[in-house]
Structure 1
C-alpha cells in the first residue's frame, strides 16, 4: 500500500512509494522480495525522491556494535542501521579515536561505505577492514575486503558492479591504538596538540556553523562533489581566480572546492520555487516546502550551467536522486 516518503528523506519533497519495508534483522533479507524496482534506504540524508516511486523502499534499521581489542588496533563491527554520528561519539567515549573528523555526517553506518563518506581530510575507506552484505542474486551473505570495495572519492563497488545487487548488513572497522590527528583542513589547522575530543568538538562547531540542520530546514547536506581537475587545469584556473581553494588529489590532480565555485558565481540565495542555494553554505540546497522534483532538477541544471560557463568545470551532484523507477543523474546533456 502507498507509504509517504516525505519523512523518510531529509530533503522532504512530497512523494510516496508503493510499498515500504523496514529491516530490523538481516535474516529478513532472505525472505524479502527484491522485485524491481526497489530502493535501499538508510536515514535518507543523501537520497532524494524526486516524485512518487513505483516500487518498494527497503529501510535498513538493524542495530548492534561489537568491539574487539587486538594488539595494535580495535576491530569495531557495526550493523548497517546504526546512526553514524552516534557511533563516532560512542567510540570516543570508549577511548577509541579516528572518526572525529567525520563527526556529524548524517546517515547510517551501512550507507557510509557506499559513497565512501569523507570530511576534513579523512575518508571512511582508510578504516574499513571488510564489508558484509546480502547478495541478492544468490540469496546468501558475503563479505568484501577493503581492496575489493574499490574505494575512490565518493565511490565504491556498491555504486557500480554491485549496485542493486547487494544490501550492506555490517561494516568492520579497524581503528589504530596510536592516534594521529588530521588537521590539514580549514579551522582544524588552528588546533595545537588537540585531543580527539577537541578535534571532534571543532568539527561539530564548524559543521553547525555552515550546514543547516536537516530536521529544522530540509536539505541533503553537501549537494555537489568537489570537482577533481588536472594540475594544468588548476594552473589555468588560478590565473583568473588565484584565491580558489584547492587540495592535492593523487598524482597530477587537485580537488577544487565546489561550494566556493558556486558562491563566487553569485548563486548564494538563488531560488527556484521553494528550493534555495543556502545563504551560509553554497554547497547546500535547501527546500523551504512547496517545491517539486522538477524544481530541483532545474536548480541543479542552472548551477551546473553557470559553473561550467564561468570556470569550465563540470559539477556532479553527490546526492542520490531517485525518479519513478530508478536512480538518475542530472547533467547538462540531460537538461538542455
Structure 2
C-alpha cells in the first residue's frame, strides 16, 4: 500500500508536469483510514490527490501523498421535492454527472465535462455555465487525518465561496473527503443564463422543451470546442479566476476599454472575464519555451511537453504582472500550487 521509492506523478496531473512523490498511499476503502492517520503523524505534511486536474505539482513532493481511488454511487435518500445522491470521492466527476442523468436525477448537467474527481469538487467549489457546486451540495463525509475520526459536514461547515472552500484554505491536507452527497430537484428547471447556451443552435431549436440531456450535450460540445483535451495537451482548465471589482474600478476600466466583458453582481460589484483581459493583452496563443497560452482559450495555460512547475508559474506570473499593469486588475490562479 505504501510506495517508498520515488513514485512518478507525471501522468496523475492533467498539466503533465514532471513530478514524483517520495511516499504515496492509495485510498480505496474506509478500513484503511486509521492507518492513514498514523502514517500522517510521521510526515510533516499530507497532500490528497484526486484527478490531478486543479494542481501545479513540484518536481519532488516530500509530503505523504494520498491518492483517492474509491468508487460507488447510490441514491441515499429522497423527499417529495428532491433526490439525495451520494458518490464516493474517487468517482470521475463527469461520469458521475452522466450517471445521474441516466437515472433521471437532473441538476448537475451544466457542470458536465469538468475534469477531476467527486471528492475534489467541493475543495474547489467547482462551477460552470451558471451553476455552482454549493447550490446542489447536501453534505459530505470526511476523515480528519489529524484527529483520526470521521466527520459529517453540512454546507455551513464547508465555508464555500467563489472557487474556494474550507478544504482549500484551512489546514490543507487535514481533510480526506470520503463521499459527497448532492440535492437534486425533482421539479427541474433549466439554467440557461450564459450566452454560450442561449445561442446554442440545438437548444434554440427546442426552446421551451429543453431537457437536461440536451443541456449536458450542449455543455460538452461548447467545452470541447473551447478547451483542449488534457489527454492530448497538458492543461488544468481555467488557470485564472474571473476577478471581481467594485463599481468604481469597473467604470474606470470601461472608460478606457468600452468592450470589456463583465457580469454585474450583488452589492454593485462586477465579475470581469479574465479570458477577455488576457486576450486583449495579446497572450492568447503565445508560447514561452515548453509552456504557453492556448490559442482558443486565453484562460488555459498548456504544457507542450516536458515542463515543470517553475515553467508554468513563470508564465502565470508574467501574465498577472501584465494584466495588473494594463488594467489595474489582480488575477488569482485557480490551480493550487503544491509545495
Range into which the TM-score falls when normalised by the shorter chain: over 0.9
Name the CA distance, whole Å, in 2 between partners of 1:50 and 1:135.
Answer: 25
Corresponding residue for 1:43?
A: 51
Residue 162 of structure 1: CA displacement?
4.5
2:64 to 56, 62, 68: 56
Structure-to-structure mapping, 1:1-336, within 5 angstroms: 1-32=5-36, 33-34=39-40, 35-67=43-75, 68-190=77-199, 191=203, 192-193=207-208, 194-322=210-338, 326=339
* TM-score, length of structure 2 as denominator length: 0.93
Q: Which runs of 5+ in 2 are unaligned?
A: none
**Do the aligned partners of 2:238 and 2:300 also contact (CA within 8 Å) in 1?**
yes
SS of 1:43's partner is coil
Q: What is the DSSP-based 3-state SS (H/G/I as helix, E as strand, rest coil) of the residue aligned with 1:142? A: strand
State the distance in 2 between where 1:227 and 1:26 align.
39
Size of the aligned set, in residue pairs, is 323
Structure (1/2) with the larger helix percentage: 2
Say whether the 8 Å CA contact 1:21–1:59 is kept in structure 2: yes
Long gaps (5+) in structure 1:
327-336
Task: Tell me if the contact between 1:26 and 1:62 (Cα under 8 Å) persists in the aligned partners.
Answer: no
Structure 2 counterpart SS, 1:251:
helix
Q: Deviations over 1:222-248 (max 9, x none)?
A: 100110111221111111112222112
Stretch of structure 1 that moved more, 219-228 or 188-197: 188-197
Aligned equivalents of 1:31 and 1:7: distance in 2?
Answer: 26
TM-score (norm 1): 0.93
Does the CA-based 8 Å contact 2:242-2:274 persist in structure 1?
Answer: yes
Deviations 1:103-154 (A, max 9, x none): 0000000000011000011100011111210012210000111112111101
**Structure 1 residue 290, shift from structure 2 partner:** 2.7
Deviations 1:165-189 (A, max 9, x none): 2111111111110111111112211
* CA distance in structure 2 between the aligned counterparts of 1:258 and 1:305, rounded to whole angstroms: 13
Q: CA deviation at 1:265?
A: 0.5
Q: Deviations over 1:56-109 (max 9, x none)?
A: 211111111111332110000111101100011111111111101100000000
Q: Which runs of 4+ in 1 moved over 6 A?
A: none
Which region of structure 1 is more displaced relative to structure 2, 125-134 or 25-34? 25-34
Instruction: Show CA shifts across 1:300-334 (max 9, x none).
Output: 11000110011100001101112xxx3xxxxxxxx
Kindly indicate whether the alpha-carbon contact (under 8 Å) linking 1:246 and 1:254 is maintained by their aligned counterparts in 2.
yes
Contact 1:41/1:59 (<8 A) preserved = yes
* RMSD after superposition: 1.2
